[in-house]
Structure 1
Amino acid sequence: MKKKRVAIQGIKASFHEEAAFKFFGEDIETVECSSFKKTCEALKNKEADYVVMAIENSIAGSLLPNYTLLRDYHLCIIGEVYLPIQLHLLALPGVKFEQVKNVESHPIAIRQCIDFIDEYPHLNVKESSDTAACAKRIRDEQLTDTVAIANQLAAKLYGLEILERRIESNKKNYTRFLILTEHKEGDVPNANKASLSFETNDEVGSLAKVLNIFAEHNVNMSKIQSMPVLGKRHEYNFYVDIEWDNHAQYTEAISKALRYTINFTLLGEYLKNDHV
């Protein structure tokens, strides 16, 4: 059978590829993309079958531009992955910490390791577009004075040694990734979670009415995110994640909520997967 083609932001051994492996297994073809928009373009142009896209981090919060991409490209959510973000200090084999002058990584990864970095003020910190790309550059250019902050997958793929393990400040840091495709593939068996997007009527209490409908039907709202509607003052898109035990109650809640919403979009129904 043909391997699934999965578009990721970044290169091989990035956290996006790690998330793709966790969901699909390692027998996939990774499509490397330099931006989140380009992952969507790869899907649109039939260069990929799926996209793995980070949507929120437990420290950095929501990746707001990615919500816009979900709507603009009419992407369908078919699953989710929660990935613990474990960051290590990687170097060429044989390099000692005393030799190191530079540390490179993605800006968010650097911020997540700032307590460790602050202990060594002599280190020159350099920002890059991708954690794995820093590891690859050390391997390709045989840099003996530079270390990368990246994951264990990058160390393995690019033949680097781990000088220091788990240097992230918060050991409970995780990122949630969405598994996306361009069209609905059919119902996900036993789906118990959905992501919605809608605007509400310009009336007092209209959002509260929608949320109360969910509560009255035992549908749990696990997340709500608002984004301004482009070009319209005081109007917002709401992105909501909901979970349920009884599918009939969920269906009835959606039917009633439609009365109080505008531009309602079901972004996807899928299996809740919050195992970190």
Structure 2
Amino acid sequence: MKRIAVQGIVGSFHEDAAQRYFNKKIEVVECKSFTSVCELVDTDKVDYAVMAIENSIAGSLLKNYQLIRDYHLRIIGEIYLHIQMNLMAVKGVKPSDITDIYSHPVALQQCVEYLEQYFPNANLHEGLDTAAAAKLMSDEQLPHAAAIGNLRSAELYKLNILETGIETNKKNYTRFLVLAKHGNPTEKANKASLCFEVGHFYGSLARVLNVFAENEINLAKIQSVPVIGKPNEYTIHVDIEWEKLENYDRALHQALKSVSSLAILGEYERSEIYMHDQ
């Protein structure tokens, strides 16, 4: 059975993403931080890790880009999860009983309109993850509290769903990366994550991006990440997609002439974005 490290506990969105990606029985290893997740992969204590890298509302997790590079991890896959938020509580609790609501800070933020409309006076409590909030309801059997999280955590911790789909934006996705210590060479790869640095002169970045365009490479994402300890210096992270492998190989060879450094963080199969309930 493969061991997969995730940030958070069983029932979290990270664990949900891991289950969906591997689609078979796995052993999920719970971690309190993203750093711990990377350490477990680096020290061979787990086979893979699943780590969030961006959310369609909250944006990119810049620290996680840095962790991937610091630990020299390889991206071997990706999965997009449709994030649906639900209000849940222990059996017998009615909406009129609720004085306190627990969840992850980002989850609370994503449900702010619902909370302002229906629970304007409730005390909001921020925790490590949505599943931990659900577990707290179950462990403590809180009679005046509710948690916000996914359907899986409600099922795991035997909570009643009081309301589904309470997030403000219904097209809310999180992209998760699947990480390993070594790359997975795959003939089916049609996407890659690269990072590079260019010199400080006009047109230096455009020159690299033009190489991709000229070789019919689609630029799916571009993100600048500050270089720690070096003011005004940035590493450029890009996700690129291709139809023909020879175009990718040629573009990579040409791009090397216009960068001061370049690293391939991973080559993998592009994931489709599916709508499904959480």
* TM-score above 0.5: yes
Unaligned runs of 5+ in 1: none
* Offset at residue 26 of structure 1 (A): 4.4
* Offset at residue 163 of structure 1 (A): 0.4
* Letter paired with 2:224: S
Give the direction of change, closer, same or farther, for the CA distance of 1:88–1:39 in structure 2 (3 Å limit).
same
* Offset at residue 45 of structure 1 (A): 2.2
Distance of 1:252 and 1:263 partners within structure 2 = 17
Unaligned runs of 5+ in 2: none
Distance of 1:29 and 1:274 partners within structure 2 = 25
The 3-state SS of whatever aligns with 1:70 is helix
Distance of 2:24 and 2:168 partners within structure 1 = 29
The 3-state SS of whatever aligns with 1:129 is coil
Q: 2:201 — aligned with what?
A: 203
| 1:1-276 equivalences in 2 (<5 Å) | 3-119=1-117, 120-185=119-184, 187-276=185-274
RMSD: 1.0
Deviations 1:166-193 (A, max 9, x none): 10000000100000001123x1231100
Is the 1:90–1:161 contact (alpha carbons within 8 Å) kept by the matching residues of 2? yes
Is the 1:155–1:161 contact (alpha carbons within 8 Å) kept by the matching residues of 2? yes
* Offset at residue 115 of structure 1 (A): 0.5
Is the 1:55–1:177 contact (alpha carbons within 8 Å) kept by the matching residues of 2? yes
Distance of 2:230 and 2:108 partners within structure 1 = 36
* Offset at residue 238 of structure 1 (A): 0.3
Is the 2:111–2:168 contact (alpha carbons within 8 Å) kept by the matching residues of 1? yes
Distance of 1:80 and 1:265 partners within structure 2 = 18
Equivalent pairs, count? 273
Distance of 2:225 and 2:273 partners within structure 1 = 28
* Letter paired with 2:231: R
* Offset at residue 265 of structure 1 (A): 0.4
- Normalised by the length of structure 2, the TM-score is 0.96
Is the 1:78–1:188 contact (alpha carbons within 8 Å) kept by the matching residues of 2? no
Distance of 2:165 and 2:7 partners within structure 1 = 23
- Please list every run of at least 4 consecutive aligned residues from structure 1 whose deviation after the TM superposition is greater than 4 angstroms: none
What is the aligned-residue identity percentage? 52
Distance of 1:55 and 1:40 partners within structure 2 = 13
